[in-house]
Structure 1
């Protein structure tokens, strides 16, 4: 384990905000991760887990304790199943599955962050969610002080949600198991925008590499592929989730999709734009991306307080105009 002091969290997150951590501990194995968490718990030091830093709004005052950066690596294959260490880069894993001709996560290309974070948020995009392929999540339970393995049903997966997210801080993801599908072709494409870019109909398949390339191109066009040289990618991707409302509360003109149980999912991007926050709307050093209204971006010197204040204005405007409440996707932590 490597331990450093007074490391700015802004340097470790894609939103580039946040003060310094008292101690940054970089762990390279699951055993080191458990040991670091236990040490912080037993000593009473505040603990913050950090993966890829792509879904985190770090506090301006820094972190008065231990920040454990998960850098564990390893991908084990058994047939069509993979067991992946929590610190593996997610997009690198997706690229690996495409190279190995394993389908199931190809539409999740270009999403920044670590593999261990994906089941917490039930990461999804372009018609796929990780819950569709996850077979097991091994965790360290800080309450029970023991390692546990959750089956998918025990994870309580929902839209951008899981049991791991609903009990924040309790479970530390160590590794994730996936069951994929062998072959040259993708799973049926379930997202209209992606299908159009591939020249196919919704429900049809395409070569794995073509799907990955199409998704990356779509995401780059929206500034949602992390690139330090691209100011529009200085974000957490989509800042708000698509709200789910009863069908009779659908907003006229807003794109929507069936969400089951008499509900529909509304386009958060449309709501944000039509509430007065179109692409490139700025308020000082924060604002919407010039390429996608759903991504909030920061400039040099921006603070978490500025970012959250701007996000609050967006939420208030959408609620006032449409009567719909937006939920934030990235996590804002407090010491």
Structure 2
């Protein structure tokens, strides 16, 4: 793998922070990536893998180790497991939105609502990316990865990745290490072959975002175009001329709380149950009925609540920034912490901490950061 002149990570991350690391390599093939990682792990050297840099928040001090840029690309069509489906094996460094565009152009349904998400295909399963009700878990079949502990390359089924809301066993959560330290080499998706015509739009969340009636039918290209326009209005499509897009996307995760805690929040706070409500049905044989109906069994459920709503109603509006700071909340979407131009990681971290503190003081809930933090603390 060719070693290249290290460049500032501020040039390789969408949040635009980070100095140049000690060393930098660029992997254009899977073999190069595997070879370099094995050598780094054998030497016990600090390492960092970067794809699109869209889910990283890097500190101001130089990274004292080796950064490996994943530049592998390629889409390989494969037969689906059942009629009306097709599989795609995608190299880890392939641009995610370019992959979505490919699927739409070829009439393959399943990831069109995730148009405009920055980053690479290899990062998608790490945090189970999703948008408007679609998540990678719905179409992911398997990943090819290399384990840090052994250096072995293996194919792992999606069911073994612990995919949940913006998480997996591969993700480096703030304050913890991954359950399975590994690097994704390729992903395989299974998508429905629907063609270029109009199809029913599944999912209440997607229909609501696009202003569609329950019985509406539109084409994949229509969905992609309107999702891109919706994300652009929120500053969630990368644009070098728009500081609102100089971010790591949603900086804070929508909170997952118990149904009981959700009831303590204002009724107008948007929330979505993580599991559908099923009205329990009790069947008592007539011969065994003694006139007493047992009380229903209460099952605890979890609810997702809107972090953006909590931030706004904690008094931090769109465009909020601290005095003399070059970091600010997006003027379009309060969930994005943005670099308004030349902001240090310290300035961005200060705003993120202030946001957490205001929400916690107002609602008793500590928002968790979504990006991976490297050399920086909140």
Same fold per superposition (TM over 0.5): yes
Q: Does 1:118 align with 2:118?
A: no
| Structure 2 match to 1:44 | 44
Q: Does 1:244 align with 2:285?
A: no
2-structure distance, mates of 1:308, 1:224: 20
Q: How many residues align?
A: 334
Deviations 1:41-87 (A, max 9, x none): 22332100001000001121121111000000110001300000000
The TM-score normalised by the length of structure 1 is 0.95
2-structure distance, mates of 1:291, 1:279: 6
2-structure distance, mates of 1:188, 1:38: 45
| Structure 2 match to 1:255 | 270
| Structure 2 match to 1:222 | 234
Larger radius of gyration: 2
The TM-score normalised by the length of structure 2 is 0.85
2-structure distance, mates of 1:29, 1:36: 11
Match of 2:203 among 186, 190, 195: 190
2-structure distance, mates of 1:25, 1:203: 51
SS of 1:138's equivalent in the other structure is: strand
Where in structure 2 are there 5+ consecutive unaligned residues? 80-85, 276-299
1-structure distance, mates of 2:168, 2:199: 26
Q: Does 1:316 align with 2:357?
A: yes
2-structure distance, mates of 1:259, 1:12: 35
Greater strand fraction, Structure 1 or Structure 2: 1
Q: 1:200 to 1:6 in 2, by over 3 A?
A: closer
Match of 2:165 among 150, 159, 178: 159
Deviations 1:78-122 (A, max 9, x none): 130000000000000000000010000000000000000000010
SS of 1:84's equivalent in the other structure is: strand
**Deviation at 1:132?**
0.4
Match of 2:329 among 281, 288, 294: 288
SS of 2:231's equivalent in the other structure is: helix
| 1:186–1:211 contact (8 Å) kept in structure 2 | no
Q: 1:127 to 1:203 in 2, by over 3 A?
A: farther
Q: 1:187 to 1:126 in 2, by over 3 A?
A: farther
Q: Does 1:266 align with 2:272?
A: no
**Deviation at 1:151?**
0.6
2-structure distance, mates of 1:91, 1:225: 10
Q: Does 1:276 align with 2:315?
A: yes
* RMSD of aligned Cα (Å): 1.7
2-structure distance, mates of 1:307, 1:242: 19
| 1:90–1:111 contact (8 Å) kept in structure 2 | yes
Q: 1:201 to 1:306 in 2, by over 3 A?
A: same
